[in-house]
Structure 1
């Protein structure tokens, strides 16, 4: 079972668990069931977003379930993200709507979900201007205590450098697709140099990497599941992960990533799968 020691300290001083539950496409009783299993298995971070449409469901589930597990709101780390449709002048209102929908007080980490504004062409220069306005709103809410930490999602190295050159508060986290088939070497280097923690989504390649021959062979050698091997590859490098599952059994299995270690040779074998493959359809590199 993970413990509070399995955390990364963010550049703002906040501790973020390395393991969190992703909630994309989970709603209602299905989300509640996954959250219940996750709390029992030791998960202490939960990730949502305005565009997922389940912020109220997650907030309700945590309010109902935390006492049943002997926990309080202070024991968990809640993450949400700004709707790209609210980039720019509408960012402050969009942020506050997320806070209200979650209904859990201060949000532990709030991210800009996408570098572009919904409805704008990726090459439109207004994307950059809107990002700047949105980040200012996050900075103000962070300074006021509404957000304990702030960050970005789906930013590329150029997006990150642009933000770092002009911000008052640097991002604490960059959440992006990352797995052995998309190691994000340049982005991870940029984050490391800037003191920004990397948090991975789609660690299992939307299920495709579970069937990868090298992953399966390594899992058999380790006596682990392919999912555990893929998640361990990330957390062993200090990369936080957000696996999602509708099945309580899988939620519990995915938590078992802190009681074994991959050898240097194992890590090299997995890293050799890097081919720049994205399993998420949208590519942020086309956004100016």
Structure 2
């Protein structure tokens, strides 16, 4: 396994196990440079969203980064997400076209429904199915969906989601959700894998990190990958972007995996998908 290693989604599309996220990175040179650093250092997956308000900068970075690295658009996996205000059939299609224009791309590799807004996500899903069948998106999925949301969606869907991107880190391991996703051919993906920095002083993970000569962040990212979860850690610093990807030269033991799994407290840093207001 290496930084370009991929998993095959249920529809046959290959998605990198590791990518860079740009949540809360504002438009400007810092954003552009972060994405370009990632591409230059071997990343082949970039995750953004309409609500991040940085799709234009991500698009600029992709164009410049690809040109400087000398490889094609087809070698990069780009994800964006439709925001809650645009969850409706026509509104979602329009939102997709807006995101595509801001990114300056001809297609997206993955497009997600950002949150499971009751009464709206089914119409949005129909729009994603339409875009997918028209060849405008390589893969479609959801974000922050719990089991009951997925059950409700799948009940009427023509196409099952290929991805479910959720809050996932050692304090919220979501084992039942992951098992449900596996049973239904849905790949789990982690956002906030480092719990927004709140796990960096955890003693259990620190001791494992010292054993391998790695950082706590590297241990958590490796734990994600060994649990079969795609992960997209965020950083704007080149040395940290490189460090986050330097996780393919060691392997955690079954005992160490269990020690980290046991840190679970079902504790979120983000909103509860069953109780959010935005």
What TM bracket, shorter-length normalisation? over 0.9
Q: Distance in 1 between matches of 2:56 and 2:149?
A: 30
Q: Distance in 1 between matches of 2:113 and 2:236?
A: 26
* TM-score, normalised with respect to structure 1: 0.93
Greater RCO (Cα-Cα under 8 Å, separation 6 or more): 1
Aligned to 2:256: 266
Structure 1: where are the runs of 5+ without partners? 117-126
Aligned to 1:124: none
Aligned to 2:145: 155
Shift of 1:163: 1.0
DSSP 3-state at the match of 1:148: strand
How many residue pairs were aligned?
A: 274
Contact 1:49 1:82 in 2 (8 A): yes
Contact 1:182 1:276 in 2 (8 A): yes
Contact 1:2 1:43 in 2 (8 A): no
DSSP 3-state at the match of 1:105: coil
Aligned to 1:98: 99
* TM-score, normalised with respect to structure 2: 0.96
Aligned to 2:6: 7
Could you list the runs of 4 or more consecutive aligned residues of structure 1 that deviate by over 2 angstroms after TM superposition? 1-4
Q: 1:64 to 1:230 in 2, by over 3 A?
A: same
Structure 2: where are the runs of 5+ without partners? none
CA displacement 1:193-240 (0-9 Å, x = unmatched): 001000101000100111111111110011111000000001112200
Q: Distance in 2 between matches of 1:78 and 1:29?
A: 20
Contact 1:8 1:238 in 2 (8 A): no
Q: Distance in 2 between matches of 1:261 and 1:58?
A: 32
CA root-mean-square deviation = 1.2
Aligned to 2:133: 143
Shift of 1:3: 4.3
Q: Distance in 1 between matches of 2:60 and 2:140?
A: 23
Contact 2:168 2:190 in 1 (8 A): yes
Q: Structure 1 residues 162-171 or 150-159, which shifts more?
A: 162-171
Q: Structure 1 residues 218-227 or 91-100, which shifts more?
A: 91-100
